[in-house]
Amino acid sequence: MATENAQTPLLQLENVRAGYGEAVVLDGVSLSVPEGGSLAVLGRNGVGKTTLLLTIMGFVNLMQGTVRFAGRDISGAPPHKRARAGLGWVPQERDIFASLTVEENLTATARAGQGNAGRWDLSSVYDLFPRLKERRANMGNQLSGGEQQMLAIARTLMTNPSILILDEPLEGLAPIIVEELIAKIGAMAKDEGMALVLVEQHAEVALGLTDQAIVIERGVIAHAAGSAELLKDQATLDRYVGLNLEGE
Amino acid sequence: MIGNLAIVLFDGLAFGMLLFVLSVGLSVTLGLMNFVNLAHGAFAMLGGYVTVLVTRELGLPFLWSLPAAFIVAALVSVGFERTLFRRLYRAGELNQVLFTIGLVFAASAAAAYVFGTAQQPIQLPQFLRGVTEFAGLRFGSYRIFLIIIALVITGLLVLGLEYTRFGAQIRAAVDNQRAAQGLGIDVDTVFAVTFALGSGLAGLGGALAIEMVGLDPSFGFHYLVYMMIVVSVGGLGSIAGSFVAASLLGIADVAGKYFVPDLGAFMIYLIMIAVLFLRPQGLFGKR
Ligand SMILES: Nc1ncnc2c1ncn2[C@@H]1O[C@H](COP(=O)(O)OP(=O)(O)O)[C@@H](O)[C@H]1O
Ligand SMILES: [Mg+2]
């Protein structure tokens, strides 16, 4: 994927082959996200979107290629070091810590950030998601789906990442919550310049929130384009993303 | 009769508190980290021998030997955890059992080689010897000391696990290792520290045990049985469970031996069978 940006990209994958054990899921994947940039990752169920994020975070077997972050080769770094370096991953299953309260979920892994250090703390994430403040004393397993997603995003923000990596954050949520999350993710990406990787099956939403996009098809990048451009390219969208009738 | 009952309850509680200090670390490693560490008994024995060395060979006071027993057992256990145990985290439970019980055999043989098979007596400071009179009853001073230490440890453990950031990180890592790592927790280190604290407590328990139940190379095996009973009756991973189970078993053991001498030694097994029959997951266990 071409970026016109001359400076070193914030996040860059080069010719990545990755998978589980011996099984190859992603092959020949290259992409880059500049500082403050945003990338939509589209594709049907099971094509390897989550695996791509797990590769970035270091949870799967990287067989070939490199992952670079902020100019450093992090291909061999363990996940916790990548998180500390500023990769802000929000897992698809949300993975809220069930035996921690909402507030503990937020504080247990909180860190001052690298660049924009200290932008996010308890009061600013509670301002972003007032619902979490009301639920602060609840245990992690007593939340609705929408609250869990808010908490998962807020928990990652508390690590003050330099890039937010979201895996289908709108999946399975009520429309009103979806609206709220879209507005807030948009505000972070567009207004505050937080770099963003957004995996999403709803192409229109993802393309509206990002400036670049890739489409994954069976583990390879089948298409890469500017988000605005791809939004108008109905033929390509139909071909690779479809009408999303599979649901889940 | 009432007086006897009070003393029996008190002695039982003191024995229970000893069992608690010995067992709580095992409950944590077994319940939180899913690692079956039968070598816990060997770390307890190690703590006992550290106290013997520190008081007899170095001539230092008994109270000084207690932190030494904790620290040595913690450090040695971390050495084993980093080099050997961690390779077994993903191995089956049978492998963990076989390996760690092997370590107890090895530790027992090593202790017999270095210290001989005899009981190891130690010198207690004056204020821990004898009895303290209260309401006309005579309570063993050492047992009072034991109860106080166990209560302090319980308080510290609960505070540490429930109210500190490190405690929250332990619980997070147990809940979901992958998410914890992905948010920047160094799960390996968190588990290693947790493991060290648990083993350190075993070492402290071993040191405290000498005065009450003696110390010889079979300690690791003998008390492993008690530890397993405390953990299974209390429920895996529950500090409160270990505390209640240890108190119950300590009192039952002492009371059984006092009131029904013929049955006494079996009392704890009867309680274990009864509890596990009614609640297979233990009193405070979640699974
Ligand atoms: N833990 C795993 N072990 C083996 N294969 C897996 C695992 N997780 C996912 N896969 C496989 O990898 C492929 C891509 O999955 P995934 O990245 O989750 O897709 P997506 O997020 O695009 O829906 C699928 O074929 C899936 O079956
Ligand atoms: Mg997925």
Is 90 exceeded by the pLDDT of residue B179?
yes
Q: What is the pLDDT of residue A85?
A: 94
Instruction: Verify whether the Cβ–Cβ distance B168 to A108 is below 8 Å.
Output: yes
State whether the Cα torsion A213-A217-A218-A220 is positive or negative. negative
Whole-number pLDDT of residue B211: 93
Cα separation of B81 and B103, whole Å?
A: 12
Give A 73-102 residues with CB within 8 A of chain B: 78-80, 83-84, 89, 91, 95, 97-100
User: What whole-number percentage of chain A has pLDDT above 90?
Assistant: 81
The band of A3, judged by pLDDT with boundaries at 50, 70 and 90, is very low
Two structure tokens written together for A65: 């290629």
Put simply, whether B168 touches A (Cβ < 8 Å) is: yes
Reply yes or no on whether the pLDDT at A113 is more than 80: no
Residue to substitute from A57, A109, A122, A166, interface B, most B β-carbons within 10 A:
A109
pLDDT of residue A1: 46
pLDDT at residue A114 in the model: 63
CA distance A54 to chain B (A): 9
Best of B183, B186, B188 to disrupt the A interface (most A CBs within 10 Å) is B183
**Summary count for chain B: helices (H), strands (E):** 11, 2
Backbone angles phi, psi at B8, to 5 degrees: -65, -45
Residue found by looking up tokens 């998978």 in the block: A19
Is residue A172 over pLDDT 60? yes
Q: What is the mean pLDDT of chain A?
A: 91
- State how far Cα B72 lies from the chain centre: 15
User: A49-88, pLDDT tens digit by residue?
Assistant: 999 999 999 999 999 999 999 999 999 999 999 999 999 9
> B165 to chain A: nearest residue by CA?
A108
The Cα-based distances of B49 to B46, B101, B170, B178, B207 in angstroms read 5, 19, 30, 39, 7
pLDDT (0 to 100) of residue B92: 86
Given a cut of 50, whether residue B116 has pLDDT beyond it is yes
**Which residues of A are less than 8 Å from B187 in CB distance?**
80
CB contact burial B64-100 (16+ within 10 A = b; e otherwise): ebbebbbbbbbebbbebbeeebeebeeeeeeebeebb
The predicted pLDDT at position A118 comes to 56
Q: What is the DSSP letter of A114?
A: S
User: Among candidates A63, A82, A67, which has minimal Cα distance to A31?
Assistant: A67
CATH of domain B2-278: 1.10.3470
Domain layout of chain B by residue ranges:
2-278
pLDDT at B2 over 80: no
CA-nearest residue of chain A to B186?
A80
What pLDDT, on the 0 to 100 scale, is given for residue A189?
87
Considering only alpha carbons, which residue of chain B is nearest residue A161?
Answer: B183
Q: What's residue B89's pLDDT?
A: 83
Which residues have C-beta atoms less than 6 Å from ligand 1? A 20, 23, 25, 43, 45-51
Domain ranges of chain A: 9-243
pLDDT digits (tens, 9 = 90+) for A146-163: 999 999 999 999 999 999
Residue B196 distance to chain A (closest CA, Å) = 21
Q: Which is more confidently placed, A217 or B90?
A: A217
The pLDDT score that the predictor gives to residue A2 is 46
Mean pLDDT, range B58-83, rounded to an integer: 95
Tell me: pLDDT of A247 over 60: no
What is the mean pLDDT of the segment spanning B76-93?
A: 90
Residue A117 has pLDDT above 60, yes or no: no
Q: How far apart are the first and last CA of chain B?
A: 41
Nearest CA distance, A227 vs chain B (angstrom): 28
Q: Give tens-digit pLDDT for A56-65.
A: 999 999 999 9
Residues of B in contact with A109 (CB under 8 A): 169, 172, 180, 183-185
Mean pLDDT for the stretch of residues B227-234: 93
Residues of B numbered 31-50 whose beta carbons fall under 8 angstroms of chain A's beta carbons: which are they? Answer: none
The nearest CA of chain A is from the CA of B51 a distance in Å of 37
At residue A191, the pLDDT reads: 79
Mutate which of A51, A167, A248 for ligand 1 pocket (most atoms within 8 A of beta carbon): A51
Whether B184 sits inside 8 A of A83 (CB atoms) is: yes
pLDDT in tens, B15-64: 999 999 999 999 988 887 788 899 999 999 999 999 999 999 899 999 99
Spelled out in words, what is the top-level CATH class assigned to the domain A9-243? alpha beta
Cross-chain residue pair A78–B183, CB shorter than 8 Å: no
Chain A residues within 8 A of B181 when measuring between CB atoms? 59, 78-80, 83
pLDDT per position as a tens digit, A5-33: 457 899 999 999 999 999 999 999 999 99
What is the band of B135 on the pLDDT scale with cuts at 50, 70, 90?
Answer: confident
Tokens, residue A88: 């802000």
pLDDT value of residue B1: 67
Question: Is residue A130 scored above 90 in pLDDT?
Answer: yes
| pLDDT > 60? residue A116 | no
